[in-house]
């Protein structure tokens, strides 16, 4: 299995990774729908929405601050690092649904954050945007224009950043191999990316300990965790 995939990677001009919460699971960051699910304690389908934010900005901020502190204490794992190693040898783009910034901290430079970033903050009214470097004295934090600030993430019901989404579709439609890692493919429109890749003749590879909604469409599936499978794949590739 690894030999076949490594061969496809060697022949590929362009490789795209589509990643979700599962790739950060072995960095100690809970996934959304797993048994350790982040969304168990809170019903994130409710919390990750603009309605919840306006109804109770303090609660939504407390949820993001708890996640941000956990993320800042976390480290990229061998899965993130294998992808950034491969980028030194081949053209690699990472289309991630994660907001944790771990791909960038692992050294990947071509990372598209489809759902925003937990370390960026923006104003709900004016165009103020900034990187969050400290914790806040009060929640919700207030902008100098007097309105409340929000995490710069994409909530349910909100559109993805147009330029990033356009680029991501372009990357998915023009790659030779797409490796889908650690995502249940439950959320749209990110879950369309493997469809675009398949439509354009790419080889689809899935790395996930469990089946996903698109397992039947995958050319090859590695039923293993990201931190185990990706370094193995890189080692076979480098032989
Ligand atoms: C949009 C950022 C349109 C915030 C996130 C019905 C009602 C309402 C809405 C909808 C609906 N039907 C469809 C929709 C649209 C909705 C949607 O898809 N809902 C789903 C839930 C049904 N989508 C949207 O609203 C999107 N916007 O459509 O806008 C529009 C257009 C124009 C104008 C106005 C509007 C916006 C979606 C973005 C939401 N924001 N996150 C935050 O993080 O707080 S989504 C959130 O869940 C994450 O970002 C993540 O991307 C996403 C999916 O989760 P996964 O990453 O896949 O994680 P999950 O836990 O599900 O799976 C983990 C996987 O890893 C599992 O398969 C597991 O087996 C595997 N795994 C576990 N351990 C490991 C592992 N794999 C490898 N190694 C391991 N160790
Ligand atoms: Zn403002």
CA–centroid distance, 201 to ligand 1, in Å, is: 25
CATH 3.40.50.1220 segments of the chain:
1-29+76-115+160-239
Q: Which residues contact 207 (CB under 8 A, 6 or more apart)?
A: 179, 180, 181, 182, 221, 222, 224, 226, 229, 230
Query: Which pLDDT score, from 0 to 100, does residue 35 have?
Result: 61
CA 60 to ligand 2 center in whole angstroms = 18
Q: Where in the chain is the domain with CATH 3.30.1600.10?
A: 30-73+117-153
Q: Tell the residue nearest (CA) to atom 66 of ligand 1.
A: 184
182 lines ligand 1 (CB under 6 A): yes
Residue 49 in contact with residue 156, Cβ under 8 Å?
yes
Q: From the CA of 149, which ligand is nearest?
A: 2
- The low-confidence residues of the chain, meaning pLDDT below 70, are 33-42
What's the CA gap between 234 and 239, in Å, rounded? 9
* Distance, CA of 239 to CA of 236 (rounded, Å): 5
Q: Retrieve residue 20's tokens.
A: 């979700």
- What is the structure's pLDDT at 121? 96
Q: Are 157 and 49 in contact (CB under 8 A)?
A: yes
CB neighbours of residue 151 within 10 Å: 25
d(CA 27, CA 71): 9
Q: Is 99 in the pocket of ligand 1 (CB under 6 A)?
A: yes
Contact 151, 71 (CB under 8 A): no
- pLDDT score recorded for residue 41: 62
Distance, CA 237 to ligand 1 centroid (Å)? 31
User: H/E/C letters for each residue in 53-120?
Assistant: HHHCHHHHHHHHHHHHHHHHHCCCCHHHHHHHHHHCCCEEEEEECCCCCHHHHCCCCCEEECCEEEEE
**36: DSSP letter:** T
Identify which ligand lies nearest to the alpha carbon of 150. 2
**Tell me, what's the pLDDT at 186?**
94
Q: Which of 52, 116, 187, 188 to mutate to test the pocket of ligand 1 (most atoms within 8 A of CB)?
A: 187
How far is the C-alpha of 15 from the C-alpha of 163, rounded, in Å? 20
Q: Domain 30-73+117-153 adopts which CATH fold? A: SIR2/SIRT2 'Small Domain' (3.30.1600)
> Which are the catalytic amino acids?
115
Phi and psi at residue 44, to the nearest 5°:
-65, -25
What atom in ligand 1 is closest to the CA of residue 212?
67
Q: How far is the centre of ligand 2, averaged over its atoms, from the C-alpha of 141 (Å)?
A: 11
User: What is the H or E stretch that residue 5 is in?
Assistant: helix 2-11
How confident is the model at residue 109, as a pLDDT? 98
| Ligand 1 close to Cβ of residue 210 (< 6 A) | yes
Those residues whose C-beta lies under 8 Å from the C-beta of residue 51, and which sit 6 or more positions away, are 157
184 alpha carbon to ligand 1 midpoint, in Å? 8
Exposed/middle/buried for 238, CB within 10 Å: 0-12, 13-18, 19+?
exposed
**Domain 1-29+76-115+160-239 CATH class label:** alpha beta
pLDDT of residue 36: 59
Rounded to the nearest angstrom, the gap between the alpha carbon of residue 218 and the centroid of all alpha carbons in its chain is: 19
Q: Which ligand is nearest to the CA of 53?
A: 1
Closest CA to 61 of 79, 73, 48: 48
| Per-residue model confidence (pLDDT) at position 226 | 98
* Ligand 1 near 82 CB (within 6 A): no
């Amino acid at each position: 299995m690894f030999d076949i995939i490594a061969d496809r990677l060697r022949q590929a001009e362009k490789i795209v990774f589509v990643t979700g919460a599962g790739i950060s699971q072995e960095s100690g960051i809970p996934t959304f729908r797993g048994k350790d699910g982040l969304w168990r304690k809170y019903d994130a389908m409710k919390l990750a929405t603009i309605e919840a934010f306006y109804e109770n900005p303090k609660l939504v901020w407390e949820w993001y601050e708890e996640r941000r502190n956990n993320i800042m204490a976390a480290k990229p794992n061998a899965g993130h690092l294998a992808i950034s190693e491969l980028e030194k040898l081949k053209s690699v783009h990472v289309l991630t649904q994660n907001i944790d910034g771990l791909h960038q901290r692992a050294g990947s430079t071509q990372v598209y954050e489809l759902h925003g970033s937990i370390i960026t903050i923006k104003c709900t009214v004016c165009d103020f945007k900034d990187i969050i470097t400290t914790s806040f004295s009060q929640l919700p934090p207030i902008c100098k224009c007097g309105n409340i600030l929000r995490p710069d993430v994409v909530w349910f019901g909100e559109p993805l950043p147009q330029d990033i989404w356009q680029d991501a579709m372009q990357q998915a439609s023009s790659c030779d191999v797409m490796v889908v890692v650690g995502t249940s493919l439950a959320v749209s429109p990110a879950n369309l990316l493997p469809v675009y890749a398949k439509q354009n003749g790419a080889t689809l590879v899935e790395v996930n300990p469990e089946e996903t909604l698109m397992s039947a469409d995958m050319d090859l599936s590695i039923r293993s965790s990201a931190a185990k499978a990706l370094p193995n794949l890189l080692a076979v590739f480098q032989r």
